[in-house]
Structure 1
């Protein structure tokens, strides 16, 4: 009824924006085609430029094409945002439009998804929070949208992203990165003129700009012709040219200001009547009756939308008077009904901001107090998921600390319940700000268990003990860590420890030192051991407690990753004992998981594996999700380490299903990386590469990402793709950093680095990598990483045997290798096989073929389901047999060994091994019919027959052109020393004594056409 008499301020004609609308419709068509391809769009523009009108026009067209449009707007309450507000509103719209489909898509996950849409059910309380709660919610939301959009085209339209809370920004970023299927269009609008240098939306926009899947649309202002068409639509007639010129000049093409100026012109006001456009926005407000002006001011301070019943309670007008006032505001085009909320909102947020800015400070406080009192008296007009947040905002802006503190704390609990940790952190910081302004008797009524979920049990009863300032700091520190605001969390933790210096409390201090250790590691400022040591000193000698058990469990976990050994075992055992005493099941299970791994590392294989399997089963029974998921990472990793790769793969496949269902992205990333490692061992290299790709597609932290790069480097090395291997290894090392070295990362990376250096003829670099690793040490329990490292270094020495340039240091290097090998355990078949293999390579490095030793290596590897390792050992056995002057029987055996080895190399794409097999077969003049089949047609390049690597060819090309080692180094961006090593290797492979002979032989064989040599030399 009100709309029928509303003054026309909006042109019924949609002006301009043809290109932008085409882009949106194209995205809709792509999303709808076939099985669906999700589309992501960002629409930016200054306030009033027409973003909402464009979205409305697109939404109308999408509905005509059969799409379901689910709008949602970011809500601003004063300076606060509501967690996930636009997503909650959009999901509510989807539930209204597609109730059956949404219910089916959410089936089984209602309790988790209720954090976004309370109508789905009651949020299940969590026994203990974990860092991946938000990631789990995000993943489930993405899967929900994909399922809903599997059969119906869905447009998710999120407006006013510049007001978005941090949790909304994080969820939107996650969706833009991970949505892969479904007929879905996700678009979001934001004010570009509001995004100043420190605006929280700015980093997200920069991040999304790097995604090729996100289409960015920037709306310009109207030109003069478009302004004229807009005015004509508003006035329902052609305007006078001078009036168009005047409005265009004054509005500068901003669509909303064109509307305001056109209306002012129609009503007889000159456009120059006001000093500023902001004042122009207030002119029509000031022409309203006083009661209507008062209602406008109430709505301006109430939020983006104000419910009618709440407004009625605040305005305190008779119902007829309130409706008359509202009718006046709607007729004037200032307010507009919001039917979905049974309330009212400003037609444009710029008017609301102008009205709000015009309020006096005392007036603003009074209005907020009236809202808070009305909402306390009757909370039902406001949606349940908004009540506590809005009440906290109203009391805070009413400047009533005694009322605001409990309300803000209630809002922080609600934010925590919804995994909106960024908002929880902000609210807790606001509570700390209010703390000293609240009377003691009010604070005495607050309880830790009501507001501080991470309250450290410190010997007092939390049900009767008042909430302490330190309890808020503890909760804020964890919230900061969970939402990625680690700098803020670190500052809070340091401040808490300073307070505890003044008022000692060992258990609380120990708890904060553990948090500081975690933050130190995640901020790449150290390994966190100094902080953990302080925590252990503080709890030493104290009675068992949950804090004490947690300190021991975290310390045991640190030792397991850095220095596994007796101290780690003792800490894990005490953590288990203390956790059982105080009934902390999750700490106990985590400590037992660490203990089981340490038992295996110490050689107690069967008992350790039994412990790990027992923890997995018990955690599943108790539904301790974090431990269940960790067991699907640690247990398969331990199985892989002892050579039970096939068993590990089964558990890891189960882990992928589990972590994906729960939305635990970091854990899923670790599972995929471990799966890739086990598949690589089993000779399923293509599947391993797919597993790595799956790990890289996930949004995850640095270490699992770096693990994926390390595995790619290992794969590339085996396939002879040296440039790729070096690139991947460099990325992995940069991601792991140097602040927190761990054997499980540093030793495998050193192994790959040695392999790359050896393959490129850089034996000094390979030796340097080895010596650095040995200087760091091979702690007890690191045999799964130590054996491959020593084997890679020994193989490099053996391959370089006979090179005069490398002989002087060889005895010393081999002695280092023998000494290091004596420190490594051989308690399982795979470690025993590596021990035998290493001894055979040491003999080869001394020029002794030793076929008996190589036969033992083959025999040790044959039962282990490691085809690539077996193929390498068979090749070496064949080489040893042929080098020993074997008879016909031995030649026949060598031929069969080469056939088997070559077949594996071809299957895996292991080009270096395949080349070696083919070259040995040719040198030994084995019959072509029985020699190893090459993976590719024989090369016609003479350099292949000479065994030159790609880098050695580049060096020889420059040698043939007459360059010195220094010039070669400059051309190839290597050191002169490395160039010298390459030249020495080339002379040995060519069988010549000097550079001149090498150049002559290269020219005689036609290795480098003259033109190519000139181009290289000129370059």
Structure 2
């Protein structure tokens, strides 16, 4: 029965239908407590089941930031143990993803989930599970009461909202809008999610008077009709809140005289008046259930209430018959959360403490396999003021949260345990570790949760209290602190702290701690090596790490050394250094983070050296490793997938590149997502696809928030503008890129070369218009751009820290030199030939094929201008052949225009239509078009690769055939005829 909710229900079912058709969506349902959000969503779940959808429903609980992924756990558990058709599918999908097993009470979990990549693995596993279920049937995932969601659940919700696109999944979340105060942690999440193009917000309003009357009539069906005055009174007192209205009506508070009878008018009092009608045993059960929390277990309620089995059963039956509790799975829940809140708030302090203590004792006495979440035990123990039990449970809850990939919750539990350390007897025995190790674990959890400043604060405090005689501990603390300071770009203190860490332990005997400190020191020196220590440190550290058996440190050092060696020399064997690091890290017990870092650099190195086939294989292997380890959406997983796309784009496999771009498509609301999305522009711009405009609309608002995004997206936006004949807009984009690049970075070469192309177009237009000042300004700007390129190259190849430039960088350098000559109106054959050759990477039919074609386009133009039509035709045909295969429409249009003007290959102007221009030859029509643009004979000759004298003859013939006496009159005819 849905009353007054037709529009809201229609929005929900529309989202479900879109998901069924392959368009994943997110709907956030909000409204005041008691307004009917759950009732509305329950109607949706019934509809979804009727349509054959897989339905997963989970609920958050009012336990604070303590139980990570609680609604996801509930959803998976209920679906896997339910009777729906999806139960077996859910069990199989969870079994195939061990990281999800740890969420379930009967799941063993994944021992690797406790690593710093645990959360990324879990997110990837959830995404994979939903995609797998969606392949069989549409999926509806409902997460209720998100105003109580833990931080990890909020992160998961944000991740799924951004990443779900083509999966047949409809994600619905509900939350109380009246609970979202200004600083509520869900508030920014909702704001971010509602910016997504596939997200919808549904506000559930209060009833109007007619709807309240209809609702009361439905409640009283089979009894006396509802009097209109009673309905109006109930509506006025409930303010249209359905839950409140039902409680008022059930209590008889809508009848005449009820308001003056002194009966309770507040919602809490009203709800408690329902409880007061129960027997003493019934009231005891309800109070116990309110303390139990999210779900009530028969056995626990019986034992805590002190009733025997028969009395407890009768009391539960009474409570259920009064609709205060409702059966749910293998237990009970309150009919509405407001009822539980009212009962809990009414408990006397001592009564509340005793009940929490009883629950804590029962949970603690259960066997290990059936204890339930340690976070729940910590909650009850703390509320019972049993500090030793709360301490022990908090430590266990922290470790459980870390194992589940919930570092934020792990940190909160560690912090609580550290706060209680001084207040409990024998804390080391209870925790199974000392205070310093517990604080180290807290710092590690904070860092894994992304809160680096809290991690740094915790580690600095540790330095003050740690035993100075414990050199290994001091080394570990300093190594972690150096790492986090480096991640915060605080390089001076980071280098100093790393040096201190290394100095804490002697080189002999080799130790794992010192090897790890050396690995961190070497990695930091990549970015701040004022004394040139890096190569010596890394070489010695690799030997020390190997001697100490520190495989992870050795692999990390190999990656760092490989990056350094690659930057300093054209080392052909550097790829093998990365391969060794990858293989070491990927072995049992290795670090997936280091393995991913090494796999990326291994593929990138081959790519930079022009080995596109080898780079393709390496990228595929790296992506496969990431996906098999559930890390497709980790940082290195995304970077590897982006590189794989770029390799296919470079090699001219644009169909595959487009397919891959769809695979990692995300909704753009933050710079990181915009970076991922921006890669799709490479092919879209080159193909002239209208999707490029759409993608740029998503990305543009974020361009100034991230330097790499600014570099990537603006560079492609500039090329897009150039293909559309808008060099001014291109220049604006490129200026914003170049203003953010350090002068000696080789990253300046490509945008500067594109900027030189834009200045060449501006200069050509200025010369055609006779605007010498504008032409000189373009030349001056071009000189500045080329000077920046040469400065970067000189610093890179001859500076204090020499670096190796990849093949692509050398090719763009040649392109920049050729474009600078074009600014002066000179098409330099040798420079364009050099650019075309360099872009082949030494393979006549390979290399960066699109840029080969673009360079040959300009080379053909230069050859034609110098009178070598045969040579121009060869280059032109080659460029056309390359551009046709992947569908480079803008380049093909430019090539056809050149072919027509220069009479290359089969390019010929179309036959003239009858009319005033019918007497003109094809070449004369080309000349007339240029006359209409205001070109003089010399400019016409340059554009059509003919002599000025021949151009003059063509103009004279045109005037005679059109029966006009001036170029102005001829231009008028051309404009009138649409030339």
Structure 1 pair 642/733, CA: closer, same or farther in 2 (3 Å)?
farther
2:596 corresponds in structure 1 to 629
SS in 1 for 2:503: coil
Distance 1:766 1:328 in 2: 72
2:316 pairs with one of 326, 331, 353: 326
Q: Cα offset for 1:360?
A: 2.5
1:289 pairs with one of 265, 269, 279: 279
Structure 2 gap segments, 5+ residues each: 768-774, 798-802, 911-921, 936-950, 953-965
Is 1:680 paired with 2:649?
yes
Q: Is contact 1:747-1:789 (8 Å) kept?
A: no
1:996 corresponds in structure 2 to none
Distance 1:939 1:714 in 2: 37
Structure 1 gap segments, 5+ residues each: 1-12, 449-465, 953-989, 992-999, 1013-1019
Distance 1:336 1:804 in 2: 83
Distance 1:706 1:479 in 2: 27
1:438 corresponds in structure 2 to 424
Q: Is contact 1:41-1:216 (8 Å) kept?
A: yes
1:734 corresponds in structure 2 to 704
2:460 corresponds in structure 1 to 497
Q: Cα offset for 1:88?
A: 1.8
1:871 pairs with one of 853, 858, 878: 853
Distance 1:291 1:404 in 2: 30
SS in 2 for 1:71: strand
Q: Is contact 1:415-1:423 (8 Å) kept?
A: yes
Distance 1:907 1:528 in 2: 49
Q: Report 1:544-623 matches (<5 A).
A: 545-558=511-524, 560=526, 567-622=533-588
Q: Cα offset for 1:411?
A: 0.8
Q: Report 1:232-243 matches (<5 A).
A: 232-235=217-220, 236-243=223-230
1:671 corresponds in structure 2 to 640
Structure 1 pair 790/242, CA: closer, same or farther in 2 (3 Å)?
closer
Q: Report 1:127-206 matches (<5 A).
A: 129-130=115-116, 132-180=117-165, 184-206=169-191
Distance 1:713 1:492 in 2: 39
Structure 1 pair 909/857, CA: closer, same or farther in 2 (3 Å)?
same
SS in 2 for 1:76: coil
Structure 1 pair 151/603, CA: closer, same or farther in 2 (3 Å)?
same
2:203 corresponds in structure 1 to 218
Q: Cα offset for 1:306?
A: 2.3
Q: Is contact 1:389-1:408 (8 Å) kept?
A: yes
Q: Cα offset for 1:480?
A: 3.1
Considering only aligned residues, what root-mean-square deviation do their CA atoms show, in Å?
Answer: 4.7
Q: Report 1:272-671 matches (<5 A).
A: 272-338=262-328, 340-341=329-330, 343-378=331-366, 384=371, 386-439=372-425, 441-443=426-428, 445-448=430-433, 466-468=434-436, 471-484=437-450, 486=451, 489-498=452-461, 500-501=463-464, 527-543=489-505, 545-558=511-524, 560=526, 567-622=533-588, 624-661=591-628, 662-665=630-633, 666-671=635-640
* Deviating more after overlay: 612-621 vs 252-261: 612-621
Q: Cα offset for 1:1008?
A: 12
Structure 1 pair 29/586, CA: closer, same or farther in 2 (3 Å)?
same
Structure 1 pair 1001/279, CA: closer, same or farther in 2 (3 Å)?
farther
Q: Is contact 1:285-1:293 (8 Å) kept?
A: yes
Distance 2:642 2:531 in 1: 25
Distance 1:549 1:948 in 2: 71
Residues 701-739 of structure 1 deviation map (CA, whole Å, 9 limit, x = unaligned): 8457436537737974896999999989967752434xx
Q: Is contact 1:162-1:194 (8 Å) kept?
A: yes
Q: Is contact 1:763-1:806 (8 Å) kept?
A: no
1:893 pairs with one of 847, 861, 871: 871
Residues 173-216 of structure 1 deviation map (CA, whole Å, 9 limit, x = unaligned): 33333334565544333222222222222222222322343343
1:84 corresponds in structure 2 to 69
Q: Cα offset for 1:641?
A: 1.1
Structure 1 pair 920/223, CA: closer, same or farther in 2 (3 Å)?
closer
Distance 1:187 1:351 in 2: 24
Distance 2:973 2:536 in 1: 64
Structure 1 pair 444/879, CA: closer, same or farther in 2 (3 Å)?
same
1:984 corresponds in structure 2 to none
Q: Is contact 1:557-1:594 (8 Å) kept?
A: yes
Residues 374-404 of structure 1 deviation map (CA, whole Å, 9 limit, x = unaligned): 2222358x965x3312111111111222221
Q: Cα offset for 1:904?
A: 3.3
Q: Cα offset for 1:906?
A: 5.2
Structure 1 pair 597/118, CA: closer, same or farther in 2 (3 Å)?
farther
1:4 corresponds in structure 2 to none
Distance 1:39 1:273 in 2: 47
1:256 pairs with one of 231, 238, 243: 243
1:265 corresponds in structure 2 to 252
Distance 2:704 2:737 in 1: 19
Structure 1 pair 429/227, CA: closer, same or farther in 2 (3 Å)?
same
SS in 1 for 2:363: helix
Q: Is contact 2:755-2:785 (8 Å) kept?
A: no
1:108 corresponds in structure 2 to 96
SS in 2 for 1:265: coil
Q: Cα offset for 1:503?
A: 5.7
Structure 1 pair 65/793, CA: closer, same or farther in 2 (3 Å)?
closer
* Deviating more after overlay: 557-566 vs 392-401: 557-566
Distance 2:504 2:719 in 1: 48
Distance 2:547 2:73 in 1: 43
Structure 1 pair 1001/320, CA: closer, same or farther in 2 (3 Å)?
farther
SS in 1 for 2:400: helix
Q: Is contact 1:139-1:663 (8 Å) kept?
A: yes
Q: Is contact 1:335-1:345 (8 Å) kept?
A: yes
Distance 2:595 2:585 in 1: 5
Distance 1:467 1:587 in 2: 26
2:941 corresponds in structure 1 to none
Distance 1:679 1:65 in 2: 41
Distance 2:228 2:740 in 1: 81
Q: Cα offset for 1:834?
A: 6.3
Q: Cα offset for 1:638?
A: 1.4
SS in 1 for 2:645: helix
Structure 1 pair 434/284, CA: closer, same or farther in 2 (3 Å)?
same
Q: Is contact 2:289-2:296 (8 Å) kept?
A: yes
Is 1:760 paired with 2:746?
no
1:985 corresponds in structure 2 to none
Distance 2:214 2:898 in 1: 83
Residues 933-981 of structure 1 deviation map (CA, whole Å, 9 limit, x = unaligned): 9xxx9999999859999xx9xxxxxxxxxxxxxxxxxxxxxxxxxxxxx
TM-score calculated relative to the size of structure 2? 0.79
Q: Report 1:697-708 matches (<5 A).
A: 697=666, 702=671, 705-706=674-675, 708=677
Structure 1 pair 942/20, CA: closer, same or farther in 2 (3 Å)?
farther
Residues 261-307 of structure 1 deviation map (CA, whole Å, 9 limit, x = unaligned): 22221899935512523212112323433343333222211212221
Q: Is contact 1:596-1:611 (8 Å) kept?
A: yes
2:947 corresponds in structure 1 to none
Structure 1 pair 732/347, CA: closer, same or farther in 2 (3 Å)?
closer
Q: Is contact 2:30-2:174 (8 Å) kept?
A: yes
1:776 pairs with one of 743, 762, 765: 743
Q: Cα offset for 1:539?
A: 2.0
Distance 1:221 1:405 in 2: 44
1:53 corresponds in structure 2 to 39
Q: Cα offset for 1:125?
A: 1.4
Q: Cα offset for 1:690?
A: 4.9
Distance 1:940 1:252 in 2: 78
Distance 2:611 2:541 in 1: 29
